[in-house]
């Protein structure tokens, strides 16, 4: 056990006396140990909710939030699925350019995702009228900051019958319920959870954590996997062969103890932390990259959760500023100083300087706000089609 020593002067010499050690309390675990926090959030989000549902499946979906009369769900709901946006973009780009399409899925048109948010996140959006375009117009120029207890989850799902093909026959259809969290949509079609993002507002720019199922063939491709808390192998370098699969992320004793103490489906031990992000760049000034082989299929090499979501913004008309007109990694300021402002001379140094004009308002890293807002400026009001769950 570590001991603290005190000093006394005796006969002109220093004498050391052992004193009881004082326990150190981490004042900021979100920044100092983000991998541990990521697993705490993962277990919290996936603990048993009601019936077969995990806790995150009791949260409000985009479909619950972005409607004329937002309603927080009274209990668990079926998945609110929409086609995964980025894999669809990768497919469309390959069709336009003739470039090879990533082989991460049998067909990205059958990769689905949903976004869910806890009550504090839902209430912030609704109470500030950020679920509709008229509210965004009124909020233009304001500083929007979610409460520190806000949590958002993006879950990625694949139809159960596609899992054997996706895993290169490592898993049969019959084995899926024993290895994956499974849920069914309103029509009874079954989907397997293959990946998950979890973010929390415990730091101003949110904490970002991305998880993948251990049988995802590209789980550590391109940027590798890093988990200093939950994995016995804290760093897994990327394979030189794409989609070749990786060894199981054998859990550390500390994480195994956390799972043992939780009320959680046993299948969740099959999920692995790919990495966490709490800043745009590291202490050497290099861009921090974090992407998920499912959610960011085709864009992993240039993926940064924080940079992408840092560009979530809307203009004075309450419309989304396109997220795909700027570099994907690094801090926003040096790379694109006029993302939120226009200026007449030098790039902006601080807000309020002469010649600096606001052109867009940040949505505090939440793309759902500008992309999914109901257009209530039209008659009749228009729901955002891409945000409607199945």
pTM higher than 0.75, yes or no? yes
Average pLDDT over residues 251-275: 98
Q: How far apart (Å, rounded) are the C-alpha atoms in residues 351 and 380? A: 38
Query: What are the distances in angstroms from CA 58 to CA 23, 147, 350, 355, 365?
Result: 38, 20, 41, 47, 22
170-220: per-residue pLDDT in tens? Answer: 999 999 999 999 999 989 999 999 999 999 999 999 999 999 999 999 999
Q: Hey, where are the domains in the chain?
A: 29-309
What is the average per-residue pLDDT within 346-368?
A: 78
To which residue do tokens 């979501």 refer? 309
Over residues 112-135, mean pLDDT: 97
């Amino acid at each position: 056990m570590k001991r603290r020593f005190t000093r006394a002067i005796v006969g002109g010499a220093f004498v050391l006396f052992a004193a009881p050690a004082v326990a150190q309390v981490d004042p900021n675990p979100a920044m100092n140990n983000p991998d541990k926090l990521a697993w705490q959030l993962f277990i919290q989000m996936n603990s048993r909710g009601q019936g077969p549902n995990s806790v995150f499946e009791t949260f409000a979906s985009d479909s619950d939030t972005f409607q004329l009369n937002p309603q927080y769900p009274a209990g668990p709901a079926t998945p609110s699925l929409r086609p995964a946006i980025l894999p669809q973009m990768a497919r469309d780009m390959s069709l336009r350019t003739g470039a090879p399409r990533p082989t991460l899925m049998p067909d990205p048109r059958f990769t689905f995702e949903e976004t869910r948010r806890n009550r504090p996140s839902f209430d912030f959006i609704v109470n500030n009228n950020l679920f509709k375009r008229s509210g965004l117009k009124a909020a233009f120029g304001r500083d929007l900051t979610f409460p520190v207890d806000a949590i958002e989850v993006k879950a990625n799902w694949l139809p159960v019958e596609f899992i054997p093909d996706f895993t290169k026959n490592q898993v049969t259809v019959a084995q899926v319920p024993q290895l994956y969290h499974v849920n069914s949509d309103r029509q009874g079609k079954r989907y397997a959870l293959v990946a998950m993002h979890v973010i929390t507002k415990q730091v101003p720019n949110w904490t970002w954590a991305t998880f993948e199922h251990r049988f995802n063939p590209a789980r550590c491709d391109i940027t590798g996997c890093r988990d200093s808390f939950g994995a016995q192998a804290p760093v897994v370098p990327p394979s030189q062969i794409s989609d070749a699969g990786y060894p199981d992320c054998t859990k550390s004793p500390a994480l195994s103890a956390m799972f043992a103490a939780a009320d959680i489906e046993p299948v969740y031990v099959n999920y692995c932390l790919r990495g966490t992000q709490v800043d745009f760049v590291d202490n050497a000034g290099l861009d921090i990259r974090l992407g998920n082989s499912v959610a960011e299929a085709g864009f992993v090499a240039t993926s940064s959760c924080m940079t992408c979501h840092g560009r979530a913004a809307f203009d004075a008309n309450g419309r989304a500023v396109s997220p795909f007109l700027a570099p994907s990694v690094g801090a926003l300021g040096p790379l694109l100083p006029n993302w939120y402002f226009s200026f007449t001379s030098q790039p902006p140094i601080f807000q309020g300087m002469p010649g600096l004009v606001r052109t867009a308002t940040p949505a505090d890293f939440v793309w759902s706000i500008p992309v999914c807002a109901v257009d209530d400026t039209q008659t009749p009001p228009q729901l955002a089609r891409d945000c409607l769950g199945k």
